Amino acid sequence: MVPRSLTERQARRSRRGPGFPHPGEARTAGLFFGDDVPDTHAMTATNREPATVIVVGAGLAGLTAARTLRAAGATVTVLEARDRVGGRTFSVTEGFADGQHCDLGGELVTDDYRALSALCAEVGVALSEPVWFERPDLPAGASPWEGYLGEGRIIVDGELLAGDRLAGIEAELRTAFAACPPAPHEVAEQWTRRAGLSDLARAALAGPARMPVQYDLAQTDTHYLTDAHVGDIRRIVGGSQQLALALARDLDVRLDAPVRAIRQSGGRVFLELEDGERMVADQVVVAVPPFVLPTIGFDPPLPANAVGILTTLQRAHGGKVIGQYAEGDLVREALSNAVFSDGPVNTAWVSNHYVTEGPAMVSGFVCGADRALLESEPEALAALDELVAVAVGGPVTRIASHRKNWTEDPYALGVGATFGFPTRRALVAQLVTAERRVHFAGDYLDVDLNATMEGAVRSGLRVADDVLRMPRRMTLDQIELELVRA
């Protein structure tokens, strides 16, 4: 890349617009702009070769986009507000015996996670053997709720349902679903009342309904009970963050670099960091959680429809409480396939099911109206201990622990969010549209697997393609040479 000087006319164009930094004040990805400014657009021989791209956010969506763009020849810098990569894929080993880990964020990989599985294979990250969450004997055509209501899987009022009591609940639910089918847009709480379910049947559905998206019943689409099968699941060996670390390995990632504002002027994008540093790029990908996006300033402002969608999006509040238990074999036998509860810990499972010896790690989910439990570590751990003891059928010994409240995390502000299933496609379509040279990515912007690790990877691939398809910007000299004189 050969430096060249700005003409006076180009300099005037670059300063146009109130509040935008002069390129001489801005730092680009690895370059300082001064009197001699590199003609970054000259790097763009075709519209498939963007010159400089800054990716805001080093979660799976941002890292996937950055890796794809770098492979296509772009100069890419990733800015991450945290002191680590991964976003809500966050694996912790500190304090746990035998070098075991826990995943404080996303961890399940289903058969539908084709993009993520392919990415793992490309970067050398191993996936475990599968374990089932839905009953393996589930007949063809059965609904997800039937798959979860197996022996030893449902806890109501601190009691594990089994035998005739469980069979009676299954019969009641089967009759209700057949006689009073849920409407596609109906939430679970509304349906349980419209169908006249008994309190016991409603309580039995509480855990399975909350598990997929960590909403309360008054927010959860019945779609997750009737159509959204989980099936067999795998996990990333060593923790989900292993994928993020592998993706970041050859990228230019700057940690502890939160972004304050993103401004567009003169065909370039200027970023202001919280520490006052300024950077400039040809295009920017914003890959932060949906509730963090409104904390970044945009000039010009984001369109009213996008802001309206973001500020009304229902947030999944809460997080996880983790326990490592000495009774490894007993805990693995009872919880490897997950248990569901109507209590404050709505779902719990052995989070490293491929580890077959030593203590067992259990992840418990706390969400919605129960999220205050996470504010007290002793109370949260006591609730998890009680659930594990009920599932095992006897006392257990917790030897290590961790907890994570994603709602209080300033760079997440929630577990995540899903759009209502009937309106998801229309709302996502509005948010994925680029605002000039600013593009958006994140797990919430995938239609089919909204708010999942797979959704994040798919979104990253999609936004990278969008960036690469963006028509190139031509300098005045290029217009003169290639269009006028030609």
Asked if residue 291 has pLDDT above 90, the reply is yes
Confidence at residue 138, expressed as pLDDT on a 0 to 100 scale = 85
Q: CA nearest 441: which of 88, 110, 63?
A: 63
What whole-number percentage of the chain has pLDDT above 70? 87
Which residue(s) pair with 253 in the sheet?
78
Tokens of 94: 């500190």
From the DSSP assignment, how many helices (H) and strands (E) are in the chain? 15, 25
Spatial separation of the C-alpha atoms in residues 262 and 297, rounded to whole Å: 6
First to last CA, the chain: 24
Q: What is the pLDDT of residues 74-94, one digit of tens each?
A: 999 999 999 999 999 999 999
H or E, element range at 302: none
Confidence at residue 353, expressed as pLDDT on a 0 to 100 scale = 94
Residue 472 in 3-state DSSP?
coil
Which of 130-144, 347-361, 391-405 has the weakest average pLDDT?
130-144
Q: What is the pLDDT of residues 371-409, one digit of tens each?
A: 999 999 999 999 999 999 999 999 999 999 999 999 999
Asked if residue 349 has pLDDT above 70, the reply is yes
Confidence at residue 332, expressed as pLDDT on a 0 to 100 scale = 97
Per-residue b/e over 192-225, b at no fewer than 16 CB within 10 Å?
beebebeeebbbbbbbbbbbbbbbbbebbbbbbb
Confidence at residue 485, expressed as pLDDT on a 0 to 100 scale = 56
Residues 6+ apart with CB under 8 A from 78: 54, 55, 57, 58, 62, 63, 66, 248, 251, 252, 253, 254
**Would you give the distance in Å from CA 55 to the centre of its chain?**
16
Predicted structure pTM score: 0.87
Asked if residue 296 has pLDDT above 80, the reply is yes
Q: What is the pLDDT of residues 173-208, one digit of tens each?
A: 999 999 999 998 899 999 999 999 999 999 999 999
Spatial separation of the C-alpha atoms in residues 441 and 434, rounded to whole Å: 10
